[in-house]
Amino acid sequence: MTKILVISQNSPYSGASLKEALDMALIFAAVDAEVAWLFRGPALYALQGAQQPQVLGLKDQFKTMKTLEIYDVEQLYVCAESLLHYGLAEEQLALPVTALTSKQQAELIQQFDKVVTF
CATH number at residue 9: 3.40.1260.10
Lowest average pLDDT, out of 8-17, 55-64, 109-118, goes to 55-64
CA dihedral 30→63→85→76, nearest 10 degrees, is -30
**pLDDT given at position 35:** 97
pLDDT digits 0-9 by tens, 62-89: 566 777 888 899 999 999 999 999 999 9
Residue 51 pLDDT exceeds 90: no
Backbone phi and psi for residue 57, each to the nearest 5 degrees, phi listed first? 80, 25
Domain that holds residue 21: 3-117
Please tell me the pTM assigned to this model.
0.87
| CA 87 to chain centroid | 18
Number of domains the chain contains:
1
Higher pLDDT, 107 or 19: 107
% pLDDT > 70, the chain: 86
